[in-house]
Amino acid sequence: MNESLTPEEFGSESLTQEKAHNQTSLWQSLLHHGVVSGEQPAKAEIQSPWFVKLLLAISGWFAALFFLGFLALAMEFIFDSDHGAFIVGAILTLGAYALFTLNKNEFIEHLSLAVSFSGQILIVYGFIQHFDDDTCWLLATILQFCLMAIMPNDIHRFCSAFFAACCFIVTLAIFQLPFIATSIILLLACWLFLHEFERKGQTNNPLLNSLFSVVLLHKRPIAYGLLLAPLVQTCFMSFQYAWYGLIESELLSTESLTAPWMGDVLLALVSLYVVWQIVNRYPELSVKVRYSVLVISLLVSALSFEAHGINIGFLIMVLGFSASNRLLLGLGVIALVTFISAYYYFLDFSLLDKSYTLMLIGVFLLAVRWAMLKFVTKQREQADA
C-alpha cells in the first residue's frame, strides 16, 4: 500500500535529495580538476553530545556489572572446574568481539568493554590455576598483544596495549632481563608515532599481513597505550625509592643478565633514533647541523643518566612538537616536571649532588638554546642578503 506524503515531508525529502546532488556535483568538479582523488566519502554519521555518550557509557558499565554479578552467583562451577574459567572467559571475550563488530552504540560499546575485561580476568585466572608465575606473565603478555590486534575498538586497543606493555615489563624482569623493557616499549611507541600516517607493511604470511594492517590503521590508540606503560613504570620507580634496593638485592643477586646502565644506554639509542628520523624530514639541513643535533641529543641523554625519567620527558616533548600533537606535548611536559620532582626528592643522593646535576642539565639546555638562536639569526641574514 502506497502512503502519501504530506507537503512538509515532501519538501524535506526534496531538500535532502537536492543537497545530496549538490555534494555529488561538487565532488565530481573537484575530481575533474585534480584537487581530490578516489571515491566520494560516505556521509558523516551524526555524533551524540558528550554528556549523552557519558550517560550511555555509565549505563553500559552498570548493566555489565549486574550481568557479571548474576553470572558469578549462578555459575559457581567456573572457579571449581579445571577448565571452566578458560571456557567462560573465551565465551565472554568472543561475545565482546561480536558486540563490537555488530553495533557502534556507546551503550553497547562500554558493555562490550566490561564483558571483554571480565573474560580476560577469567582467562588469566585459568592461567594461574594451571601454570607457574613465570609462564602466567608470559601468556598474559601474549594474550594482551593478540587482543590489541584483534579487537575492533580503539578504547580496547589502548587498554590492551597498556596491559600488554606492563606484562611485558614484568615478564622480562622475571626472566632475568630487567631495566631494558622500558626502552623497548618506548622504541615501539615512538616508531608508531613517527610513522602514524604510513600504511605500508607487507609480509609473505596472510595472517601477519592482516594483523599488521590492523596495527597500521589504528596506530594512535596503540601508541598511547604503549607509551603510558613506561611512564607509569618509571614514575612508580622514581617515587617508590625502596624498589631500587629491592631490584638490586633480588634480581641482580640471581645472576641478572642486564644492568641498570644498559637501560640508560638503550634509552639514549632510542632518543638518537627519534631525533635522526625527525631530522631526515628536513633535507635542506646541512650535514654539520644534522650531526650537531645528534651530539646534543646524546649529551642530554648522558646528563640525565643519574636523573631517571628526565630523558623520557624530553623524548615525548620532541615527539609531540615534531607532530604538532598537543596531547603528546602536554604529556611530555607533565612527565618532565614529575620526574624532575621525583629526582629532587630522591633520598639516595645528597641535595648538593642533585642540585649539581639539575643545574648542569639546565645550563647545557640554555647554551643549546642560545646557539640555536644564533644559528637561526645567521641563516636569516644570509637569506636576506
The count of other CB atoms within 10 Å of the CB of residue 46 is: 5
How far is 384 from 286, CA to CA, in rounded Å?
19
Q: How confident is the model at residue 184 (pLDDT cuts 50, 70, 90)?
A: very high
Binned at pLDDT 50, 70 and 90, residue 102 comes out as confident
Q: How confident is the model at residue 77 (pLDDT cuts 50, 70, 90)?
A: low
Give residue-wise pLDDT tens across range 119-172: 898 899 889 888 888 899 999 999 999 999 888 888 889 989 999 999 999 898
The whole-number pLDDT of residue 47 equals 62
Mean per-residue pLDDT, 60-76: 72
- For residue 296, give the amino acid letter: I
Q: Which three cell numbers stand for residue 294?
A: 645528534
Most confident listed range (12-26, 77-91, 332-346): 332-346
Query: What 3 state SS string does the chain have?
Result: CCCCCCHHHHHHHHHHHHHHHHHHHHHHHHHHCCCCCCCCCCCCCCCCCHHHHHHHHHHHHHHHHHHHHHHHHHCCHHHHCCCHHHHHHHHHHHHHHHHHHHCCCHHHHHHHHHHHHHHHHHHHHHHHHHCCHHHHHHHHHHHHHHHHHHCCCHHHHHHHHHHHHHHHHHHHHHCCCCCCHHHHHHHHHHHHHHCCCCCCCCCCCHHHHHHHHHHHHCHHHHHHHHHHHHHHHHHHHHHCCHHHHHHHHHCHHHCCCCCHHHHHHHHHHHHHHHHHHHHCCCCCCCHHHHHHHHHHHHHHHHHCCCCCCHHHHHHHHHHHHHCCCHHHHHHHHHHHHHHHHHHHCCCCCCHHHHHHHHHHHHHHHHHHHHHHHHHHHHHHHHHHC
Of the listed ranges 52-66, 170-184, 187-201, the least confidently predicted one is 52-66
Residues 153-177 as b/e (b if ≥16 CB within 10 A, e otherwise) read bebbbbbbbbbbbbbbbbbbbbeeb
Q: Is the pLDDT reported for residue 87 higher than 90?
A: no
Q: For 283-303, write each residue's pLDDT tens digit.
A: 888 888 888 889 999 999 998
Mean pLDDT, all residues of the chain: 79
Minimum mean pLDDT among 12-21, 166-175, 372-381: which range? Answer: 12-21
Take residue 124 and report the three cell numbers written for it.
Answer: 588469566
Instruction: Indicate whether 18 pLDDT > 80.
Output: no
User: What percent of the chain has pLDDT above 90?
Assistant: 25
The pLDDT assigned to 45 comes to 52
Reported confidence tier of residue 46, pLDDT bands at 50, 70, 90: low
At residue 344 the predicted structure's pLDDT band, cuts being 50, 70 and 90, is confident
Residue 76 has pLDDT above 70, yes or no: no
pLDDT band for position 59 (50/70/90)? confident
At residue 9, the pLDDT reads 47
The more confidently predicted of residues 102 and 184 is 184
pLDDT band for 10, please (50, 70, 90 cuts).
very low
pLDDT tens by residue, 232-275 = 887 776 665 555 555 555 544 456 677 778 888 999 999 999 99
